[in-house]
Amino acid sequence: MSRKLSIWLAWLVLCFSLASYFGYQMFLEEQKPDFIIGEATHGHHQIEMSCDTCHTDPFGGEEVIHDACLGCHQEELKTSHDSHPIKKFTDPRNADRLEKINAVSCVTCHGEHKQDQTFEMGVTLPDDFCYECHAEIAEERPSHEGMGFDTCASAGCHNYHDNRALYEDFLLSNNEGPMIKAMAQVLARTGTQSIERKASLSIDQADAPSASPEHLKEWSESIHATAGVNCTSCHAPQGQAWQDDPGLAACNSCHTHEEKGFLAGKHGMKLSIGLGKMTPATGRAAFHENADTTGLDCASCHDAHKPEPKLAAVESCTSCHNDTHTQNYANSPHAELWKQELKGELPAGSGVTCATCHMPREVHKEFGEEVVRVQHNQSMNLRPNEKMIRSVCMDCHSLSFSIDALADEVLIENNFKGLPSQNIPSIQMVLDRETK
């Protein structure tokens, strides 16, 4: 065999090998590390190895990615009453605005794998993009004269998708009130929606084939036993073989609302697409070293045999998170209220826990009745933080104080120990307009 032919054969073998390797990753392998063109954003880095979660068609264009965005975030936009919905820009009266910025596509503003040009909330446009549509705002509203377009969001005034807490009529109707309300407490939760409640069970009615006396005692004193949920309901549902660790499936048969929120949030998003449990080691926040390999599911925060909201409300959070805001919780005014509630010195719902703010209670309509559920999707109110004003802060505080507090980074760091150091003039600006 000639040297030239040998070189050609080696080249063909190499090309075939490479084509096979990349072809396997492209079409058969769930994770495609060699196709990642850049680091994913803070919100998506957990699922960056599952390319087809967003790239549902390997050869699809912008429309495919846009549809994938809505697949995860459409409900959140609907809940927030999106202030810049697509229909606003498909209106012929706004056609000229689309020539400046293609606001009907998510990826126009949120381009993934571009860390060098990514701002807060995964925005990849320059942060003065409001100028493209609102260049004449200073002429229309003299109160805005001299304000830079890069301050629209950073000053604590505007949120592109959800301005409900800053609509003028809302600012006007809530312009007064004490810094702390007289009835500063959250709503009581309604019982689980899908469980068929039966007669309370005693310890001698447990149907586990074998269990430690400690587990049996804990179960018998839990809300599960009170609701008539026996051992096999979770460990051997519908006659299945006994499982010592039944996992998420045992919870979602009753707690469907909670599971939906959990899987949509950062704690459960990997599980939702079959990538296994999220661990703090793969996160980008500050965590305790001993929490690095802890896989997160329902049982990570809720003890299965003694489901106790108090554990999930604080201890489950502080045992993993180790940022300054979390570290300062124990010495905060909020924590003092929680300690007083636990002692019975304050009514239920008066204490402020991690869950009070980051997993708020929401009122839903079910079968014609109002029920109160805990939102397990942290993304619904955590970032940008002004989304917390209506759903959390105003349960206890005035609108003015809430706006100022959430705009004060130092106050957030020390877990709200003290008063805001600055005033956001949103309410005063609206009042001034009303008097002219």
Phi, psi of 345 (to 5 degrees): -85, -15
The pTM of the full predicted model, rounded to 2 decimals, is 0.82
Strand (E) positions, 325-395?
A: 361-366, 369-374
pLDDT of residue 17: 63
Collapsed DSSP state (helix, strand, coil) of residue 373: strand
Instruction: Judge contact between 67 and 140, C-beta under 8 A.
Output: no
d(CA 19, CA 13): 10
DSSP codes, 225-294:
HHTT--HHHHHSGGGPPP-SS-THHHHHTT-HHHHHHHHHSTTTHHHHTTS----GGG-SS-B-GGGTT-
pLDDT of residue 53: 86
d(CA 203, CA 213): 9
Query: Does residue 384 have a cis bond before it (omega within 30 degrees)?
Result: yes
Phi, psi of 180 (to 5 degrees): -120, 125
pLDDT of residue 294: 82
d(CA 326, CA 407): 18
Collapsed DSSP state (helix, strand, coil) of residue 177: coil
d(CA 52, CA 48): 9
Long-range contacts of 56-61 (CB under 8 A, 24+ apart): 58/26, 58/27
pLDDT of residue 11: 74
pLDDT of residue 193: 47
d(CA 380, CA 250): 25
Phi, psi of 376 (to 5 degrees): -90, 5
> Which of 270, 268, 264 lies closest to 300, judged by CA?
268
d(CA 348, CA 215): 28
| Residue 36 burial (CB count, 10 A) | 13
Report which DSSP code applies to 125. Answer: S
Tokens of 304: 């299965």
pLDDT of residue 13: 67
pLDDT of residue 8: 72
d(CA 292, CA 279): 6
Phi, psi of 369 (to 5 degrees): -120, 150
d(CA 287, CA 180): 32
pLDDT digit string, tens, across residues 417-435: 999 998 888 888 888 888 7
Collapsed DSSP state (helix, strand, coil) of residue 287: strand
Spans of the chain below 50 pLDDT? 28, 193-194
Q: Please name the residues in contact with 307: beta carbons below 8 A apart, sequence gap of 6 or more.
A: 222, 223, 224
**Percent with pLDDT over 90 in the chain:** 26
